[in-house]
Amino acid sequence: MSLLDVLNVNVYISNIHILRDISFILEEGESVAIIGPNGAGKTTTLKTIVGLLPLKSGKIIFNGEDISNLQIEKRVEKGIGYSPEDRRLIPDLTVEENILLPCWISKLSRTSIDNNLKKVYEFFPELKELKNRKAKYLSGGQQKIVSIARALIKMPKLLLLDEPFEGLSPLIAKRLLKIFEQIKSMNISMIIADSSPTYPKAIADKIIRIERGEIKEVLRHA
Amino acid sequence: MLETLVVTILFNTLIYTIILALISVGLNMILGVLKILNVAHGAFFALGAYTSVTLVKIFLTGGLPIFTTYIALILAGVLSGLIVGILIEPTILRRIYTRIEVYQLLVTYSLALIIEDLIKFIWGPEAKIINEPYLYLGTLNIGGVFYPTYYIFLIIVGSIILFTTYVFLNTTYLGKIIYATAFDKEISLTMGVNVNKIYTYSFIIGTMLTTLGGALMSPTLSLQPGFSSEYIVIAFAIIVIGGLGSVKGAFLASTITALARSITIIIFPELELAILFMIMVTVLLIKPTGLFGG
């Protein structure tokens, strides 16, 4: 059974037709890269899946359930994690508080939260050292990592990553790729939106090329 | 002489800081989280005061000892804040979050007028006085000046309420979620926060702070319809001085305003309000976002 079915999705922002009849399928444990220039509709696609933007028409089926009209917090509860392009950490909270905030609202047990946090620190050991530092004092790259860790903390079924490699040094970007491999091996599916295929193609099973809100090409990869 | 003057200024500053902080911290919290400038906030202050009139009377006519009226005051503040918060946020305010500011101002201004009329309808237009809790405690000699001991009660209880609010907002999970929602609603949603619930909680807390302020002040006032407008005008100036949406800023600005007012009242009593707006204009010219604003 597929994990996510995006079916003929059309999205408008202020009466402008942004996504035009977008359709794709994501299998469980599969990774997809959505590649396209700025303004192509990559971020809009991710925002629509998580529920930040409403559909004009079409359907989004997640884990067999139609979530097209479901509230965002319910989608998150069902197992969707989202890391935005611009990081958007809460500046006066510490690194650990930023990572754990989604757990404070969830029904996860204390033990699960502790285990997940341990796992996240195994992926990103540098965050453990920075855990008491306020987010506003982090570099852009560090903030990016915290944003990904925050999206991962509840071990979602689907991880939406908007430009995860942006602003990272090649060394850190390559390390992030290895972390994504490990996440994938945990059967967590990923959709990575990026303007360049350089890094995503190393991890993606499928590459979707998007332009002006339309899917131009779907390439099976790896 | 100088000693007496200093004591008077400090004592008045303390009382005024507590009252202004209770009103303006609540107002700024609502503005910071819900992004709504709640013009009805002054009417909530009045509602807290009038509810305390009723509760104190019920306690006294029920034969309860006078000291229990202090519980009645706090209960009146909590209950009126809770009821107003639960009734107004989900039914009225939730429908106007996405509307333009003018629309929001009109709705909350209408709410203020409705509540003021409801107060007249329920409690009548004549002045209401409940001075039993005020008189019961007598007076206290501080540095040669006699002060009603009730003000000490007001300072202690008000400080506890403000300190508890500060601790709640800064150390509890819910407080931090409120802060996160105020800072970035969209990203809070993607973390699974039920923003509607957070808005309701924040509105109840903000409203309760001001209704508690009204209830605590009621034994020192002669309550007449419209009496709260003076306080709300000052509260608006305070949140501008402190920075729109900043709880810390509202508290600091309350202290500055209270000190300036206490000094001015002794030297140039006619300029009591003018000094407040002079501070506001100065802050706006030097730091338009307020002392703790963006």
Other C-beta atoms closer than 10 Å to the C-beta of B83 total 15
Work out the pLDDT band at A222, boundaries 50, 70, 90. low
The rounded distance, in Å, linking the Cα atoms of A44 and A162 is 10
The rounded distance, in Å, linking the Cα atoms of A119 and B68 is 55
Q: Mutating which of A13, A92, A101, A161 best tests the B interface, going by the most B Cβ atoms within 10 A?
A: A101
B193 contacts on A by Cβ (under 8 Å)? 73, 105
Q: Mutating which of A49, A67, A71, A90 best tests the B interface, going by the most B Cβ atoms within 10 A?
A: A90
> Which residue from A73, A93, A104 is facing B189, i.e. has the nearest CB?
A73
Work out the pLDDT band at A221, boundaries 50, 70, 90. low
Contact B176 A106 (CB under 8 A): no
3-state secondary structure B143-171: CCEEEEHHHHHHHHHHHHHHHHHHHHHHH
A139 backbone φψ class: left, alpha, beta (φ>0; ψ -120 to 50): beta
A157-175 mean pLDDT: 91
| Chain A interface includes B294 (CB < 8 A) | no
How far is the alpha carbon of A99 from chain B, nearest alpha carbon, in Å?
Answer: 10
B176 contacts on A by Cβ (under 8 Å)? 90, 93, 97, 101, 104
- Look up the pTM and report it: 0.91
Question: How far does chain A reach from its first CA to its final CA, in angstroms?
Answer: 21
A106 contacts on B by Cβ (under 8 Å)? 192
A50 contacts on B by Cβ (under 8 Å)? 190
State the pLDDT at residue A86: 85
State the pLDDT at residue A56: 94
B190 contacts on A by Cβ (under 8 Å)? 50, 52, 72, 76, 82, 84
| Chain B interface includes A87 (CB < 8 A) | no
The rounded distance, in Å, linking the Cα atoms of A203 and A193 is 12
Look-up: residue for tokens 């407008």?
B229
Contact A105 B192 (CB under 8 A): yes
Tens digits of per-residue pLDDT, A187-215?
999 999 999 888 998 899 999 999 999 99
A91 contacts on B by Cβ (under 8 Å)? 183
A13 contacts on B by Cβ (under 8 Å)? none
> Which residue from B190, B192, B193 is facing A52, i.e. has the nearest CB?
B190
Q: Which of A61, A65, A50, A48 is nearest to A13 (CA)?
A: A48
The rounded distance, in Å, linking the Cα atoms of B231 and B49 is 13
Other C-beta atoms closer than 10 Å to the C-beta of A115 total 13
Work out the pLDDT band at A143, boundaries 50, 70, 90. very high
State the pLDDT at residue B30: 94
List, run by run, the mean pLDDT of 10-residue segments along chain B (294 residues): 83 93 94 92 96 96 94 97 95 92 94 94 93 91 86 96 95 95 94 95 97 96 89 90 89 93 90 91 92 80
Tokens of B130: 């409940």
Tens digits of per-residue pLDDT, A9-66?
999 998 899 999 999 999 999 999 999 998 899 999 999 999 999 999 999 999 999 9
Asked whether residue A87 carries a pLDDT value surpassing 90, the answer given is no
| Chain B interface includes A150 (CB < 8 A) | yes
Contact A73 B192 (CB under 8 A): yes
State the pLDDT at residue B146: 86
State the pLDDT at residue B294: 67
Contact B184 A101 (CB under 8 A): no
Contact B189 A101 (CB under 8 A): no
- ipTM for this model: 0.90
